Amino acid sequence: MDLGLNGKTALVTGASRGIGLAVSEALAAEGVRVFGVARTITPELEKVAAGTVSADLSTTEGANAAVEAALSELGGIDILVNNAGGGDADKLVLGGFLDAPEAQWRTLFDLNLFGVITATRAALPSIIERRGAIITVSSINSRIPAGGPSGYSEAKAALTAFGKRLSEEFGPQGVRVNTVSPGPVGTDIWRGPKSLGAALAAANGITQEQFLAAIPSQFNMASGRIAEPGEVAALVTFLASELAASIIGADLVIDGGTLKQV
């Protein structure tokens, strides 16, 4: 299937590994010139990207600098993939609301919401001109307020609402804005040695391997397995294409059947 993306340009944030790297690889395979942004640039990203820059997207300065670098390298942005998010597992306090310091909330909102707002604001003039697309990676945690460290689910809920606002305002100008909400995905967030998965396993007194093996049953996943980054990337790539021209303002869940409500 020809997605009609050859020759387009894309800015992908959080592009060095996991979902962001898979998205960068999938877009590049369709002929898209990808500019990748991450705190640490990996050889895998450099292999597929037309350009890269190291930036802290949780700061206004970092997000603006990343978009400026992308515009300079690409000459304009057709596709923005807001993928950077999550948080440093070794700095997150697990437990209830009263356990987490206020600073954790601010840190999670800076990365998962405000960084996206800044980058999107900077990239939008070019995207409007080119009648392009914005795809933001949120999470099913946006629909499960009690899931994850305090502040994370709430930031993702605001992020999903932000995408809906953008779609209403800029859809009539030819900009397609959608959100993708994965469930557990086999990235370093779960599988890494210093990851959230490792921290949660330790908190439950089991090995990380045992914890990962139990995720499908604990999340009551109909698929019986967690998703892989390439599967999320395939959905993002489709949404970036003109074949998805009528999909505007959607929050598309890719969670292996975790969420049960209609």
Cite the active site residues: 152
Q: How far apart are CA 122 and CA 247, in angstroms?
A: 23
DSSP annotation of 227: B
Q: How far apart are CA 89 and CA 149, in angstroms?
A: 9
Buried b (16+ CB within 10 A) or exposed e, 173-199: eebbbbbbbbbbbbbbbbbeeebbbbb
Q: How far apart are CA 151 and CA 13, in angstroms?
A: 21
Q: How far apart are CA 166 and CA 249, in angstroms?
A: 8
**Contact present, 221 and 151 (Cβ < 8 Å):** no
**Contact present, 256 and 182 (Cβ < 8 Å):** no
Q: How far apart are CA 75 and CA 91, in angstroms?
A: 37
Identity of residue 241: S
Identity of residue 221: M
Tokens of 247: 């999909």
